[in-house]
Amino acid sequence: MSVIDDLFARTRTENRAALVGYLPAGYPDKATSIAAIEAMIDGGVDLVEVGLPYSDPVMDGPVIQAAVSQALAAGTRLSDVFDVVRASAARVPTVVMTSWNPVEQFGVDKFAAALSEAGGSGLITPDITPDEASPWLEASQAHGLDRIFLVAPSSTDARIAMTARASSGFLYATAVMGVTGARDATSSAAPILVERVRQVSDVAVGVGLGISNGTQAAEVAQYADAVIVGSALVRALTDGGTDAVRALAEELREGVGR
């Protein structure tokens, strides 16, 4: 079992969903991004997604795009991302969320080795599917990393089954079609998508895209194994600094525990 498997075993005994929080490495600078992640953990986040800044993001909305652009402008490099992972992983399970191109350019096995050395638990890869990911499947197994693939409401039953078989740690279910961003209401498609996954697999399912407050977190926690929050935490950091990040994490953690 991986540390992520252990996390979900624990949250199930506590009869609650896990809280997953995303922040990009290097925003607004490396030191502050580490401090913000520590504040997020202090507020109750169980698992951290460290965003790898990339110039051509696949599914990032305007809030995360602006943060990633600033991180890149500040000179954030892959070595900085691994340093942020190292600091986060010292406290909670930590994964990297990244477009595939930086991994491929760095070298898939080399990236996996560096992530493992930093204490990372796995990768979320929104723009590559299991049938296209043979090098990553091999490298992740060689270095003991979890593979977190995505499914969407538009995914066919066959695609969901194939993706679930290839995933480990958890499966990322995108609650809505489109890019990231906080929304006023959660998606009615999300519970149906989670149920479709559970008909073919017992892998843990995390639901993300659009969750911004404790009420929405509580709603999603009724049917998902994990509640994933990104844009709202980035906006909190932008608008109010690390104190605001901690306060929002506390609100979200209260929500998943209702």
Q: Give the integer Cα–Cα distance in Å for 114 and 109.
A: 9
Q: Give the integer Cα–Cα distance in Å for 141 and 156.
A: 26
Non-local CB neighbours of 125 within 8 Å, separated by 6+ positions: 98, 100, 103, 133, 136, 147, 148, 149, 150
Q: Which amino acid is at 31?
A: A
Residue 196 near residue 173 (C-beta atoms within 8 A):
no
Q: Which residues participate in catalysis according to the annotation?
A: 49, 60
Q: Give the integer Cα–Cα distance in Å for 146 and 97.
A: 12
Q: What is the CA angle 40-43-44, rounded to 5? A: 95
Strand 226-229, strand 205-208: pairing: parallel
